[in-house]
Amino acid sequence: MEQLQAFWSSMPDPGGIVIHLGVTLAILVVGWTVSNLLGRWMRHIADRSPRIDPTIVPMVRSVTVWSVRIVVLLAVLARLGVQTASLVAMLGASALAIGLALQGTLQNFAAGIMLLVLRPVRAGEFVSIGGQGSGTVDEIGLFMTRFVQADGIQILLPNTLVWGSPITNYSRNKTRRLDMMLGVRYDDDLDAALATLQALVDRHEDILADPAPQVMVMEYRDSTIMVNIRVWALAAKYWDVYFDLHRRAPQALRQAGLRSPIPLREVRSIPAAAAGAKAAGA
């Protein structure tokens, strides 16, 4: 009986246990809620501020949210009486083992950091990743980069593939050059064709005057003289100019009295008597 009384007296107060667990649960819930609110606040501030590059927002948000959550979990464990110092040491050893097992994942994380630091691509830019695909950059995450193709299909590439591949950025510069090849028949007036196309590009509202647009002869083919139209336009207007020139340039040549460059072949018929005499002589 004395031993039973001593054991019962050593047990903590049930009311105290409930309060202790309630406070611990409150710390967990409040900390988790604060981390989510902090992530939303960061995204809201980034959306309203023109000085913050939207490319870095997803990664910074994820790092911040999980940093707060890790601190909250350590505080909860300390509240429950767990020795956090030994736990941190154990987590460090586990992190080393996990890092060795997940080298590819860590490489993706490091590549994501390099993409954010050096900024070869940014959210909203249209880029082509050599041999991997092309599209508008939607988000650079901790391990993956998300693109949206021109047809609306979403593609995800590991950060190492993006960082380790040639990147062609079509949106970084404000202007782009457009080259268009057009054919003129040999028996048409070449000077009239050049003047007509030059007048077309000089009057076009979306073609820049500096650098000046050029219309020049590029090469000679079997039945066609190839004329090159070389103009500059704003990157945002590039495809509008591209499609408009392909529609209006042939129309302008037809209105000037020039014919479409249809491939021609000259076929000569040798009379049968002449062919026989030629064969006999041979």
pLDDT at 108: 85
Two tokens at 198? 């030059």
Domain count, the chain: 3
For residue 3, being part of any structural domain is answered with no
**Same domain as 153, residue 95:** no
User: Which pLDDT score is estimated for 139?
Assistant: 86
Whether 273 is covered by a domain: the verdict is no
Torsion, Cα 152 158 161 167, to 10 degrees, reads: 40
Q: Output the pLDDT for position 88.
A: 65
Q: Which of 133, 145, 143, 188 is nearest to 55 (CA)?
A: 145
Q: Does one domain contain both 66 and 19?
A: yes
Q: What is the reported pLDDT for 262?
A: 73
Alpha carbon of 127 to those of 2, 122, 154, 281: distances in Å?
80, 9, 14, 68
User: How high is the pLDDT of residue 33?
Assistant: 87
Q: Is the peptide bond before 58 cis (omega within 30 degrees of 0)?
A: no
Pair (17, 59) in one structural domain: yes
110 inside domain: no
CATH number, domain at 142?
2.30.30.60
Q: Is 186 domain-assigned? A: yes
Same domain, 159 and 182: no
Q: Which domain holds residue 220?
A: 175-255
What predicted TM-score, i.e. pTM, was given to this entire model?
0.60
Two structure tokens written together for 133: 């695909």
Q: What is the pLDDT of residue 7?
A: 47
**Domain assignment of residue 261, yes or no:** no
CATH number at residue 73: 1.10.287.1260
What is the mean pLDDT of each successive set of 10 residues along the chain, which is 282 residues long?
A: 55 61 81 84 72 68 80 78 65 62 73 86 89 87 88 90 90 93 90 94 92 93 90 93 94 88 72 61 60
With respect to residue 280, please indicate whether it lies within any of the assigned structural domains: no
